[in-house]
Amino acid sequence: MLWQAMMAVRDLSRLHDIAAILIKYGFGDILSRMGLSNALERAGKVLNHANAKEFAHLSPPVRVRRALEEMGPTFVKLGQVLATRVDLFEPEWIAEFSKLQDGAPPLPYAEVRTQLTEDLGAPPEEIFAHFDPNPLAAASIAQVYRARLTDGNEVIVKVRRPGIRPIIESDLRWLVRLSELAEAENPELRSFCPQEVIRQFAQSLRRELNFSLECRNAEHIADNFANYADEDTPKATQLNDTPPLPPIIIPRVYWQWTGERVCVQEFIDGIPGRMLQAVTDAGLDRKLLARRGAHAVLKMIVEDGFFHADPHQGNVFYLPDNRIAFIDFGMVGRLTEERREQMIRLLLGMVQHDSSGVLDVLLDWTGEGVKDEPGLQLDIQTFVDQYHGLSLKQLSLGNMLSDMVAILRQHQLLLPADLALLVKSFISLEGMGRELDPDFDVASEAMPMLEKSLRARYTPAALLKRGSRSITEALTLIAGLPHDFSSLLRAARRGRLEIHIDVTHLKHVGNQLDGAANRLTIGLVVAALIIGSSIVMTVKGGPTLLGLPVFGLLGYLGTGIVGLWLLLSIWKSNRNDRE
C-alpha cells in the first residue's frame, strides 16, 4: 500500500509539506509508525526533526488544531467536520476543533474576475448595476462580493477560489491513503473509523465545492418555511392589519447567474449573530429571538427532516421586528421518517426518565452488537436517574446529549454521520439560545413539538397511511413470489443454484490458510534455490567472483533476501494475530 502511495509523484511534494507540519507539532512518531518518514526520505524528501519539540508544551488537542490550520483549507474543513463527531472525541477535542475558522487572505480581484466572467457569461460590470471589487469576506474555498442588480436589489456574489479544486483533490487523495495506513498500522485508531470518517468528509467537501447544490439546499429549506408563522408572529409583526412579515428569512437565489463556481443570492442586511450588544442596542427582544430560533431549528429537524447542520453565530442574522435570517447551506442534515421517530423517542425518554426507551433507540442507532450490554444498560439507567426529579427548566438538553454520547464512546459505539450532525446541532442550538437569553430552556421549547409530532404519528390518518403502505408492500412481495420460486426451481434444474454463506470467522481462517499456503510455496522455492545454488557451486567453469561461481553466489543472495522477507512476514502475521 505504501509503495502504491509513493507512486503518486504529483502529490509527493504536498505529502512532504504535510509531514513537515506534523513533525513540527510533535507528531513525527505517527509518520514513523506508518512508514511514511523513511519512504519520503528514500524519495529524496528530507524531513527536519530539529524543531519537533517547539510546541511540546501545548496539549494534544491544541497541537492538532494548530497543525490543521497550517495544513490549509482541506484540513480546516476536516477539523470542522470532526467538531461534529461528538461520539468520537472528548469535549476538549471538540472545543478545539470548533475554534477552526474558515478564513484566508483574499485573492486579488484580477485573478477572480477572469473566472467570474466565464461563469456569468459577461464581465460583472455588465451584469450588475454596481459591483464592489473589494470582498465582503474571504474564506478558504470562496470569496464573497457585494453587488446591485439593475432592478435595484442588493445581492451577494459568492465565487469559488480559482484553482482550489486540484489542491483539495490532492489533499483528499492523501487523506484517503493516510486513513488506510492509519487503520492498517495502528489498531488503537481503528475504533475512530478513520477510513469511514474520511470517506464521509470527502463526499461532504466535494458537495460544498458545488455552489449550485448549496443553493438547492437553501431553496429546499425556503420552501419548507414558505407559509411558516410561529405563535409570536402576530404579536411581533402585525401592524394595522397588514400581512405579517415572515419570522424566518432564507436568502433568495438568482438562478440565472448561479452555477458550480458562483452563486448570486439576496443580500441580508441584518445584525450578525456574533454582535449581541448590537442586538440589544437595536431594541430587539433577545428572549424572543432565542425562542424563535429554537422553534425554527426544531421545525427543520422534527417536522421537515432537512436541517441546517451548522447553525453557529456566523450563519445567523437578526433583522428588525425580531426576525431571523439563516445563510450558508453548504452543510445540511437529512433525517428519514424512521430516524425522526427514533430521535423523538430518545429525547422524550431522556426528559421523561425512560431508560429502557433510551437504550432501545441507542442500540438501533449504533447498529452493532454491544460487547457489554448489561454494563451499557446500567450506565444508561444511571445517566437517566441523575436527572430524575428535575424540572424542565433545570435540564440542559445539550449537557444531557453530551453525557449520553460520552457513554457511547466509553462502550466504543459510534453514531451514524447524520445523527452526529443532529446531536451537534442540538448542542449548538442550546449554546446560541443561552447567549441570547441566559434563562433560555431548550427542553421546555422542544417538549410540546416533540409530543405533538409523536402524537401525529398515531392519528387514525397516519396509521391508515402506514398500514396502507405496509399492505401494498406485502401484496407486491406476495405477487412476486411465484416468479421468484420459478426462477429458483429453474436454477436448481440447471445445476446453477448457489448458496452463499458469509461467516466472519471462517473467512479469517481461510485467509490464514491462504497465507500459510503462500509461505509454504515460497519456502519450497527457497529450498530449491539453495539446492540449485549448491549444485552450481560444484560446477567448474563460468564467471567467478573471489574464486566462487557468480551464478551460485547470486542464487545464495536471492535465497537470503527471500528468506529474510519470509521471516518478517511470519513475524508480522503473528503480531497481528496477537493484537
DSSP H or E run through 484? helix 460-493
Which amino acid is residue 485, in one-letter code? F
Ramachandran area for residue 284 (φ above 0: left; ψ -120 to 50: alpha; else beta): beta
Catalytic residue among 11, 87, 119, 310: 310
User: Is the separation of the CB atoms in 398 and 430 below 8 Å?
Assistant: yes
- Please calculate the CA angle 378-379-382 and round it to the nearest 5 degrees: 85
pLDDT of residue 367: 60
User: Is the separation of the CB atoms in 419 and 463 below 8 Å?
Assistant: no
Transcribe 41-93 into DSSP letters: HHTT-----TTTTTTTTS-HHHHHHHHHHHH-HHHHHHHHHHTT-TTTS-HHH
Residue ranges covered by each domain of the chain: 2-102+169-199, 465-499, 504-578
- 213: CB partners within 8 A, 6+ apart: 207
**Residue 509 phi, psi dihedral angles, 5° rounding:** -65, -40
Residue 326 pairs in a beta bridge with 316
DSSP-based helix, strand, coil % in the chain, nearest 5 = 65, 10, 30
Q: For residues 236 and 239, what is the distance between their CA atoms, to the nearest angstrom? A: 9
pLDDT of residue 236: 46
| 418-423: Cβ within 8 A, 24+ apart | 418/333, 418/334, 418/335, 418/339, 419/339, 419/343, 419/365, 420/84, 420/85, 420/86, 420/87, 420/88, 421/84, 421/309, 421/331, 421/333, 422/301, 422/307, 422/333, 422/335, 422/343, 423/86, 423/87
pLDDT of residue 49: 58
Q: For residues 306 and 302, what is the distance between their CA atoms, to the nearest angstrom? A: 9
Q: For residues 366 and 416, what is the distance between their CA atoms, to the nearest angstrom? A: 7
Q: Which grid coordinates are listed for 37?
A: 518518514
Entry pTM: 0.70
pLDDT of residue 205: 86
Q: For residues 525 and 281, what is the distance between their CA atoms, to the nearest angstrom? A: 85
Q: For residues 431 and 290, what is the distance between their CA atoms, to the nearest angstrom? A: 10
DSSP annotation of 255 reads G
Q: Which grid coordinates are listed for 85?
A: 463527531
- How many other C-beta atoms can be found within 10 angstroms of the C-beta atom of residue 518? 12
pLDDT of residue 262: 94
- Regarding beta strands 548-549 and 130-131, do their DSSP bridges make them parallel or antiparallel, or are they unpaired? unpaired
Q: For residues 417 and 424, what is the distance between their CA atoms, to the nearest angstrom? A: 11
- Beta-sheet strands, E only, within 161-222: none
- Regarding beta strands 142-148 and 137-138, do their DSSP bridges make them parallel or antiparallel, or are they unpaired? antiparallel
Ramachandran area for residue 495 (φ above 0: left; ψ -120 to 50: alpha; else beta): left
Q: 310 an active-site residue?
A: yes
Q: For residues 417 and 199, what is the distance between their CA atoms, to the nearest angstrom? A: 11
Write the pLDDT tens digit of every residue in 270-300. 998 888 899 999 999 999 998 898 888 888 8
Low-confidence residues of the chain, pLDDT below 70?
1-12, 30-54, 101-103, 185-192, 232-243, 366-370, 388-395, 458, 462-463, 466, 497, 500-516, 518-519, 536-537, 539-542, 545-548, 550-551, 571-579
